[in-house]
Amino acid sequence: MAAKEKTGNAFVETIKTIVYALVIAGIFRTLFFQPFWIPSGSMKETLLIGDFLFVNKMAYGYSYASCPSVIIPRFGVNIDAKDICGVFDGDNKRLFGSEPERGDVAVFRHPVSGRDYIKRLIGLPGDTVQVTQGVISINGTPVELRDDGVFEEAMERQGPQGMRPRCENGAIGEGGICMKSRQIETLPNGVEHAILNIGDQASDNTGVYTVPDGQYFFMGDNRDNSADSRLAQQAGGVGFVPFENLIGRADRIVFSSGGRSMLFFWTWRSDRFFKAIK
């Protein structure tokens, strides 16, 4: 009997340890930092497919969106933040709230689908934003742009979804060099960052957007390959993003995998360890 009791106690202690670890991890993820793996190329070259980072949740305070979503389609798991913290949804307020700054790279919940997105904050509440021939105007003043060469990458499948990049230099065969025009954009508060362009398209010319109170306007740095606030939610875009939907600010890349899985350590990019996000 003693051996059985010992085995039983060991099993119970193991279960307790796992539960405690999960609780601590859940609290850490909810209050401090949330891991995020870049799945698409909408923020190139600032963020590449396969970049792994932690989102600083303390930067903007806490709302219902601070609760983690657990989505694992392979196992049929789909627990949304609203399922856990939906009682706090609806007032567009935050606990210990802090206003984001123009130029921040932020993770937020899509206002309709609830999926996590990462984009750059361009328009603040009350701003007018318009894109004309690919140039952003904020409150009627075009942002400063300067040409800065080209961005090059191999034409090959990227990330677990196996997506191929779009290229400015036309149809490129497997293994060829895919190029995009690169510019440095300076926002009104002095934040500088690289943007990429592929060619002329509808999103390069928009009407005037007036950002409502308590909401924000986001765009991807890979301007011709980003579903963002330029496109209405009904049309598959992001539209305006409420303050309460912000999850946190992306400050630094931890590591980056150039392969189909972040576990393939031999594909990790040596120049992106702990790289600051600008």
How far apart (Å, rounded) are the C-alpha atoms in residues 36 and 122?
A: 21
Q: Report all structural domains of the chain as residue ranges with CATH numbers, in order of start.
A: 32-272 (2.10.109.10)
pLDDT tens track, the chain, 278 positions:
455 554 556 555 555 555 444 444 444 444 567 899 999 999 999 999 999 999 999 999 999 888 877 766 776 777 777 777 776 777 888 888 899 999 999 999 999 888 899 999 999 999 999 999 999 999 999 999 999 999 999 999 998 888 899 999 988 899 999 999 999 999 999 999 999 999 999 999 999 999 999 999 999 999 999 999 999 887 778 999 999 999 999 999 999 999 888 888 899 999 999 999 99
Active site residues: 42, 119
DSSP three-state, residue 6: helix
pLDDT in tens, 86-96: 767 778 888 88
Instruction: Read off the pTM.
Output: 0.85
Q: Residue written as tokens 């999960």?
A: 22
pLDDT of residue 24: 47
DSSP three-state, residue 269: coil
Would you give the DSSP letter of residue 158? B
